[in-house]
Structure 1
Amino acid sequence: MLDMDVRVLSQALDWARDGHTLWLCTVISTYGSSPRAPGSMLIARGDGGYLGSLSGGCVEETFIEQLQAGAFDAPATIHRYGDSTEEGARLALPCGGVLEVLIERRAPTAEWLAHLQALRDALLGRRKLIRRVALDVGACRLDDDDGRSGARVSHQAGGVSIRVGPVVRLILAGISPVAEACARFARELGYEVIVCDPREEDCREFAVEGVTVEPTLPSLFIAKGACHEATAVLALTHDPRIDDLAMIEAVRTEAFYIGVMGSRKTSDDRATRLARSGGLSDADLARIHMPIGLDLGSKTPAEIALATIADVMRVHHGRARDTR
């Protein structure tokens, strides 16, 4: 399973190529509790077919009912769900939550197809974009994201801006039971997962659905430009010929998380080895999570994988270890 938003855009492309007028829904703000964050998308056809999620079920059903009743004929509109006590109770939004949703009606033009393709490419790591939608006439455009900090979605007078960036890419340096468990957890989270290992037999036997297997040294794969700023690199084999070389290459990239498995003593020995033989500086070593993952008392491969992927998610969301 691909990340939901990638699936939404892929489906939108297929439907638009088949000539369907589409309604693209984007969560732009939430009040109270909400299962889906701002920026989450849903695509729908006029006959009620849809893919994606706005709230986990209740809002989607109401939206489809409204759409089939002839609502949302304007190029772009903002609709609030759960705003009244009656509607909040009927929709069963959690904790009295309220959603603001941008709803766009798009005909299957060449310009719309190009727009969808660019959005999908951005989620797959090729570009970082800001999508801007004018509410008066529904015009939309894509601008390059300058990388400055800011909310994923912002609503100004007359328009909405939505940041679109890469899905998390997880590169597993080497195959092991822990790597396999990490791959399974990461796929459930919608990450793009790539496993690299020079051992061809191990590559043939690695069978996690939706994972790309590269039969090569991880360090070589990383050195060829495989990492962008939404990439995590995990070395999980206990083999320094694989793990150490992967770390040396990973710290030269913009990967947001770099980690290698091992005990505290093994990690201290590795740090000394990477500094002496690999030429890594103190700043380089500080980027490497070793020991890897959260301290959950993990022992089994699945427990270690859980602690590791949880730490990747923590860093990706910018949370401190002691955040409650």
Structure 2
Amino acid sequence: MDSVNLDVLKASVRWIESGRRVLLVTIVKTWGSSPRPEGAMLAICEDGSVAGSVSGGCIEDDLIDRVRRLGIEQTLPEAVTYGISADEAHRFGLPCGGTIELVLEPLTRASGIDALCRRVAAGELVARSLDMKSGVASFAPAHSTDGVAFDGHRLVTIHGPRYRMLVIGAGQLSNYLCQIALGLDYQVTVCDPREEYTDSWHVPGTTLVRTMPDDTVLDMKLDERCAVIALTHDPKLDDLALMEAIKTPAFYVGALGSRRNNAARRERLETYFDLGKDELSRLRGPVGIYIGSRTPPEIAVSILAEVTALKNGVTLPGEFQVGGAKAMLDIAADERTSCGVAGPR
């Protein structure tokens, strides 16, 4: 769960506990372009106060106006659709004629939102199943690959702790990468036992630890909602983190470095740490997608673009990745040279 949806649920709990009625709005389906993804939430208090969003603002305005005029009289969930016609799409700010389906659920103490927030705070990944006919919600363990499901009779939403990112190294590149990662809503931990780097580290919102990287990986108990990125260029630190991270379910494990350094790293991990081919196949490196990046901020964007693609289940062709793209550029340069054409300088 991202922090936006968690804030929505926490606001709902506060309003319910103060004796006010609340309408929880969840995106369950989109067609065409949509400003917010399936699973995004909006809570509307009976006084018109809101938390979260489901569009660029126009649908929120319509729902708020409805609550202010009619109150929250409904007792059962209902599904509504915006943007079927071109006029509606324009009116509600849905680009490219997009359509969005929402479930409007009136919340009470019996909805269990407070218990859901407690389970998320405890680190659980939870599936909340809402029966549209009765309005009764139930909870069950979920998997990281689960998503929003709605068949008109039952709505299942997935709730859990934020995605976590472990960054090895507190250098300049880490500074830029962590700032962007925070904006992407990761819970960021930076590990570096070197005092010369940690003494000058200052990125608000991150957690800095000075323990050895392999110990940190083990202590964090990484799961499918975690990413590990090694950025020190020091094999004594990067290799320690990678040898343990590769064995975890983390969805992304990668290390900075050239193609030559990456090949040497794989050889070290296989020879000295007894990692198998299958385990090493999970290691991404050189990290990032090829965008011609040169400066630390550009490299940070490149790396996080690749992390985001994996997180969202997007498989990038080899030529999009830094190693594959540079290999293709080398081939092109060799071909130009063999043809007597000077390459770029």
Give the % identical residues. Answer: 32
Distance between the aligned counterparts of 1:184 and 1:117, measured in 2? 28
Q: Match of 2:65?
A: 65
CA contact (8 A) 1:20 1:108 kept: no
Q: 1:215 to 1:116 in 2, by over 3 A?
A: same
5+ residue gaps, structure 1: none
Deviation, structure 1 residue 163: 2.9
Q: 1:22 to 1:280 in 2, by over 3 A?
A: same
Aligned residues: 317
* Pair 1:98-2:95 in alignment: no
Q: 1:110 to 1:161 in 2, by over 3 A?
A: closer
* Pair 1:137-2:127 in alignment: no
CA contact (8 A) 1:72 1:103 kept: no
Q: Match of 1:192?
A: 187
The equivalent position to 1:291 in structure 2, one of 262, 286, 289, is 286
Distance between the aligned counterparts of 2:93 and 2:24, measured in 1? 23
CA contact (8 A) 1:293 1:304 kept: yes
Distance between the aligned counterparts of 1:109 and 1:317, measured in 2? 33
SS of residue in 2 equivalent to 1:224: helix
Q: Which amino acid letter does the alignment assign opposite residue 290 of structure 2?
A: D
Distance between the aligned counterparts of 1:22 and 1:200, measured in 2? 50
CA contact (8 A) 1:131 1:141 kept: yes
Deviation, structure 1 residue 306: 0.7
SS of residue in 2 equivalent to 1:205: coil
* Pair 1:237-2:232 in alignment: yes
Q: CA RMSD in A?
A: 2.2
Give 1 or 2 for the bigger CA radius of gyration: 2
Scaled by the length of structure 1, the TM-score of the pair is: 0.90
Q: Match of 1:280?
A: 275
Q: 1:288 to 1:104 in 2, by over 3 A?
A: same
Indicate the structure whose relative CO is greater, using CA pairs within 8 Å and at least 6 residues apart. Answer: 1
Distance between the aligned counterparts of 1:243 and 1:11, measured in 2? 41
The equivalent position to 1:260 in structure 2, one of 251, 255, 258, is 255
Q: 1:199 to 1:15 in 2, by over 3 A?
A: farther
Deviation, structure 1 residue 201: 5.6
Distance between the aligned counterparts of 1:164 and 1:54, measured in 2? 17
Q: Match of 1:174?
A: 169
Distance between the aligned counterparts of 1:300 and 1:271, measured in 2? 26
Scaled by the length of structure 2, the TM-score of the pair is: 0.85
Distance between the aligned counterparts of 1:112 and 1:300, measured in 2? 45
SS of residue in 2 equivalent to 1:223: helix
Distance between the aligned counterparts of 1:308 and 1:10, measured in 2? 32
Distance between the aligned counterparts of 2:218 and 2:107, measured in 1? 41
Distance between the aligned counterparts of 1:115 and 1:3, measured in 2? 14
Deviation, structure 1 residue 164: 3.0
Distance between the aligned counterparts of 2:50 and 2:144, measured in 1? 34
Q: Match of 2:35?
A: 35
- Deviation string 1:49-101 (CA, Å, 9 cap, x unpaired) is 11111012111111111111115522311111223343222112111111111
CA contact (8 A) 1:298 1:307 kept: yes
Distance between the aligned counterparts of 1:258 and 1:136, measured in 2? 44
Q: 1:230 to 1:61 in 2, by over 3 A?
A: same
CA contact (8 A) 1:172 1:233 kept: yes
* Pair 1:224-2:225 in alignment: no
CA contact (8 A) 1:22 1:108 kept: no
1:304-315 pair list within 5 angstroms: 304-315=299-310
Deviation, structure 1 residue 257: 0.4
Deviation, structure 1 residue 39: 0.6
Q: Which amino acid letter does the alignment assign opposite residue 226 of structure 2?
A: T
Q: 1:148 to 1:309 in 2, by over 3 A?
A: closer
CA contact (8 A) 1:31 1:97 kept: yes
Distance between the aligned counterparts of 1:6 and 1:134, measured in 2? 21
Distance between the aligned counterparts of 1:130 and 1:111, measured in 2? 12
Deviation, structure 1 residue 309: 0.4
- Deviation string 1:197-233 (CA, Å, 9 cap, x unpaired) is 2235633432222212222222211112431101000
Distance between the aligned counterparts of 2:216 and 2:155, measured in 1? 39
Distance between the aligned counterparts of 1:287 and 1:250, measured in 2? 10
* Pair 1:251-2:257 in alignment: no
